[in-house]
Amino acid sequence: MGAVSESRTVVAGAVIVNARLLLAQRAHPAELAGRWELPGGKVEPGEQDTTALVRELREELAIDVVVGDPVGADVDLGGGLVLRAYRVNVVSGTPAPLEHSALRWVDAAELHTIDLVAADRQWIPDLVALL
């Protein structure tokens, strides 16, 4: 029998400024390219969610953030991955798409119409409430 692998967490940041949410456009993999998501990434073994999210947003967007409360419920991505979102506040820097095709600020109405990746769609009601 194989070893049971424990689930890995992927964190995503809800960056909200002036009632607008920052979304990042996926460059890869091919099946997700062009779709929009909350920026973030995988939590490394032994790393806290909040530490990982600060690191990922620095790497992906060149911003420093403070991580706040969780947003919505965890999303099961399959394959032992769990996606968890947090509200984040920008401390310094201006977001730049270092690992994405583009960045876009959306309001609550636009959030319903943009082509979000499937996992992030589950948070639309929670995100709209924050906006």
Domain that residue 13 falls in: 8-130
pLDDT at 5 over 80: no
Instruction: Kindly report, residue by residue over 73-119, the tens digit of the pLDDT.
Output: 999 999 999 999 999 999 999 999 999 999 999 999 999 999 999 99
Report the pLDDT value the prediction gives residue 6, as an integer from 0 to 100: 61
* Whole-prediction pTM: 0.91
**C-alpha to C-alpha distance for 56 and 77, rounded to whole angstroms:** 19
pLDDT at 1 over 70: no
3-state helix, strand, coil in the chain (%, to 5): 20, 40, 35
Q: Which two tokens stand for residue 103?
A: 């960045």
Which CATH number characterizes residue 26's domain? Answer: 3.90.79.10
Domain membership flag for residue 3: no
Number of domains forming the structure of the chain: 1
Domain membership flag for residue 84: yes
Report the pLDDT value the prediction gives residue 53, as an integer from 0 to 100: 98
Average pLDDT, the chain: 94
Domain membership flag for residue 2: no
pLDDT at 2 over 50: no
Report the pLDDT value the prediction gives residue 80, as an integer from 0 to 100: 92
Domain membership flag for residue 1: no
> 50: which residues sit within 8 A by CB, 6+ positions away?
67, 86
Domain membership flag for residue 62: yes
Domain membership flag for residue 83: yes
